[in-house]
Amino acid sequence: MEVTVKIFRYNPEKDTRGNYVTYKVEADPNDRILDLLEYIKGKTDGALSFRRSCAHGVCGSDAMRINGRNRLACKVLVRDVGENITIEPVLGMKVKKDLIVDMEPFFDNYRKMLPYLINDSPLPENGRERLQSPEQRARFDETTKCILCAACTTSCPSFWASDQYYGPAAMVTAHRFIFDSRDEGASQRLRILAETDGIARCHTAYSCTEACPREIQVTKAIGEVKMAIMTGKID
């Protein structure tokens, strides 16, 4: 089938503003959108730039807006979106070139969450693993799936309104540690999240949950963190 792919283009070395270029491509319904981008880059327009690596939805490189929704280009097939396809960079981050955006502020927000296990207690004397029951492990399973693709954060109206807001992906990371029974840093993280640019800016729009390619219940996770801040209890 022939598909029409309209792609946002912006090259700061040449353009003062972005524009859209339309390409006609022969495609199979099972092709990934990433396959189309690779084909266009390979055969028609070598300058077209985008990030990609694993090509099956686990590395988080290729989040972009596909027909108005944040998706991973490698995890959406032509048959899912039909023959008219519009591809744009994610919103709310500075476009560096075409579909590539500046990820630095995103990773800065990630780092603000103290994204590592905090536990200064001595390790078990036998040198073995810290014990954790399957139920305790299940408590934060969902948020361990995050691949830091930024699809959630860049679909969030509160993030668009203020890029100072840490954004849903950072909250997902905070959740992953706050609810880990082995972690002792919850109070530090909750203090950070209680700041002005923290969790209060979440208005429960659910855009993040809809955008997550890993099907993480992001809004629910943020809700659990909010509850922990309000009650001072983690359970």
Partner 1 sequence: MPNVHQFEVIVVGAGGAGLMAGLYASKSAKTAVISKLYPTRSHTGAAQGGISAALGNYEEDKPEWHMYDTVKGSDYLGDQDAIEFMCNEAIDAVLELEHMGLPFDRTPEGKISQRPFGGHTNNETGKPVRRAAHAADRTGHMILQTLYQQCIKNDVTFFDEYQVVDFIMVDGKASGIVAIELATGEFHTFHGKSIVFATGGHGRIFEVTSNAYAYTGDGAAILYRRGIPLEDMEFFQFHPTGIYKLGILITEGVRGEGGVLINGRGERFMPKYAPSVKDLASRDVVSRAILTEIKEGRGVDGKNYVWLDIRPETVNKFAAEDGRKNPDGSPYTITGDTVLKKIPDIIDFCRVYLGVDPITQMMPIQPTAHYTMGGIPTNKFGEVVVEDKGSKVPGLYAAGECACVSVHGANRLGTNSLLDLVVFGKHAGLKAAEYAKSAEWTRLPGNADSAARSEFEALRNGSGKENAFDLSNEMKSVMFRDVGIYRRENEMQSALEKVREMQARYKDVRVSDTGTIFNTELLNAWELGNMLEVAEVIAMSALNRRESRGGHSREDYPERDDENWLKHTLVTKKNGKAEISYKPVVITKHRPKARVY
The site for partner 1 (CB under 8 A) is made up of 11-14, 30, 38, 41-43, 45-47, 49-61, 75, 77, 96-98, 100, 103, 107, 111, 115-117, 119, 123, 127-134, 136-137, 140-141, 144-145, 147-148, 177, 180, 182-183, 215
* Shortest spacing between CB 54 and partner 1, in angstroms: 4
CB atoms inside a 10 Å sphere around CB 117: 13
Measured from the CB atom, the residue of 70 and 158 that comes closer to partner 1 is 70
- The answer to whether the CB of 155 falls within 8 A of the CB of 70 is yes
Nearest to 176 by CA among 117, 230, 123: 117
* Shortest spacing between CB 115 and partner 1, in angstroms: 5
Measured from the CB atom, the residue of 181 and 201 that comes closer to partner 1 is 181
Measured from the CB atom, the residue of 202 and 218 that comes closer to partner 1 is 218
* Shortest spacing between CB 118 and partner 1, in angstroms: 9
Measured from the CB atom, the residue of 61 and 207 that comes closer to partner 1 is 61
Measured from the CB atom, the residue of 42 and 82 that comes closer to partner 1 is 42
Q: Apex CA 108: angle with CA 158 and CA 148, to 5°?
A: 75
* Shortest spacing between CB 203 and partner 1, in angstroms: 28
Nearest to 174 by CA among 224, 103, 119: 224
* Shortest spacing between CB 74 and partner 1, in angstroms: 10
